[in-house]
Amino acid sequence: MVDSTLEAVVPSPIFAPRGLRERGSDALTVLLQFPEVEALADRVVASWHSSNASLQSRRWHRAKFDRPLKVTPLDALLEAPAGAPLAVIGHDISLAGMSFIHVQPLAARKVAVAFHLDDGTSASILTILKWCRFRRDGIYQSGGQFVRRMADC
């Protein structure tokens, strides 16, 4: 018999990931402009998990984030553009990071993720990619952790 419990998390901006809090709220301010992220930050999010199975390794709840983005590979030391920007589609997002799908391989570990804002501008967030996989449907999916807002690339 599997015993289940209800886990409620209230990830308001004051509980945002340490990196986003310590480096100022610039990145968080950008992210909160999207309804998907705002909902994660403003509401109680509940999820079911089995107490007998291994607990989910993710600390932050995710939301679907099906939006076009621009990802620019960065030099690991200088954090300057180190390749042509890729057009990608967001997959999911949390207060701490996101994943996206893309058709070309992406070798860089540091990238600038440019978000297109409703006012016609864009804002870039330095993101450290943690994983990449080639999916059965023939496209790549990568995911990473937000670090801080940066100048647009």
SS3 110: strand
Query: pLDDT of 110-125, one tens digit each?
Result: 999 999 998 899 999 9
> In this predicted structure, what is the pLDDT of residue 33?
86
Query: pLDDT of 98-113, one tens digit each?
Result: 999 999 999 999 999 9
Q: Considering the chain, what percentage of its residues have pLDDT values greater than 90? A: 53
Six-digit token string for 38? 């705002």
Q: Does domain 1-153 have CATH number 1.10.357.10?
A: no
Selection from 107, 100, 102, 105 nearest residue 146 by Cα? 100
Model's pTM, two decimal places? 0.74
Which ranges constitute the DSSP H helices of the chain? 18-22, 26-31, 35-42
| Gyration radius from the chain CA atoms | 16
Higher pLDDT, 20 or 11: 20
Name the residue ranges covered by the structural domains of the chain: 1-153
CA distance 96 to 148: 11
